């Protein structure tokens, strides 16, 4: 079954890889990627290599979300109560990501933010209180314990 232009666009947005990133990775012009997504160009379709890039990014995102959920659930189990809050970094720019992200992994701030949004969705679906903070507030994910009065 042929995959749709809408599916390609949705998947790229889901994983935080924009058209320029795909073009750069694939070594093609931006206009080629625009044609892969635009209904105005019905004969242009994304090559399998482009789909592979997005599918690999999705697998990495899913793995990262699973790891984050496991960390929170392990903390919850060890502490015997829910954390008061889980904070997730939301990067402000590529420069912000390069300066504050550790370790340097070659990823992009857009992908990191897409991963944070997916983690937020997973944790809130499980009933955890989650909020986003800029990198200047926290350097990493954090789990704040409940403060006993």
CATH number of 103's domain: 1.10.3100.10
105 part of a folded domain: yes
127 part of a folded domain: yes
Q: Can you give the residue range of the structural domain that contains 13?
A: 5-137
pLDDT on residue 55: 97
Asked if 71 and 143 count as a contact pair (C-beta separation under 8 A), the reply is yes
- Residue 83: CB atoms within 10 A of its CB come to 19
Give the separation between CA 60 and CA 53, rounded to whole angstroms.
11
pLDDT, greater one: 136 or 35: 35
Give the separation between CA 68 and CA 43, rounded to whole angstroms.
41
C-alpha dist (Å) from residue 1 to 5, 11, 18, 63, 95: 13, 17, 25, 27, 40
pLDDT on residue 103: 65
Which regions of 25-90 does DSSP assign to beta strands (E)? 85-89
> pLDDT band for position 139 (50/70/90)?
very low
129 part of a folded domain: yes
116 part of a folded domain: yes
Token pair 């403060």 is found at 147
145 part of a folded domain: no
Query: Global pTM?
Result: 0.85
The per-residue pLDDT for range 24-71, each reduced to its tens digit, is 999 999 999 999 999 999 999 999 999 999 999 999 999 999 999 999
How many domains does one find in the chain?
A: 1
Asked if 133 and 87 count as a contact pair (C-beta separation under 8 A), the reply is yes
pLDDT on residue 142: 56
87 part of a folded domain: yes
């Amino acid at each position: 079954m042929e995959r749709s232009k809408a599916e390609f666009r949705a998947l790229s947005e889901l994983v935080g890889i924009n058209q320029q990133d795909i073009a750069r990775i694939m070594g093609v012009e931006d206009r080629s990627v625009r044609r892969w997504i635009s209904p105005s160009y019905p004969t242009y379709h994304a090559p399998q290599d482009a789909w592979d890039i997005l599918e690999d990014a999705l697998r990495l995102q899913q793995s990262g979300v699973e790891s984050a959920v496991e960390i929170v659930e392990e903390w919850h189990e060890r502490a015997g109560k829910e954390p008061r809050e889980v904070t997730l970094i939301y990067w402000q720019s590529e420069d912000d990501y390069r300066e504050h992200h550790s370790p340097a992994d070659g990823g992009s701030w857009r992908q990191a933010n897409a991963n944070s949004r997916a983690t937020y969705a997973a944790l809130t679906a499980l009933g955890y209180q989650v909020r986003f903070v800029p990198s200047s507030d926290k350097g990493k994910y954090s789990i704040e314990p409940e403060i006993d009065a």
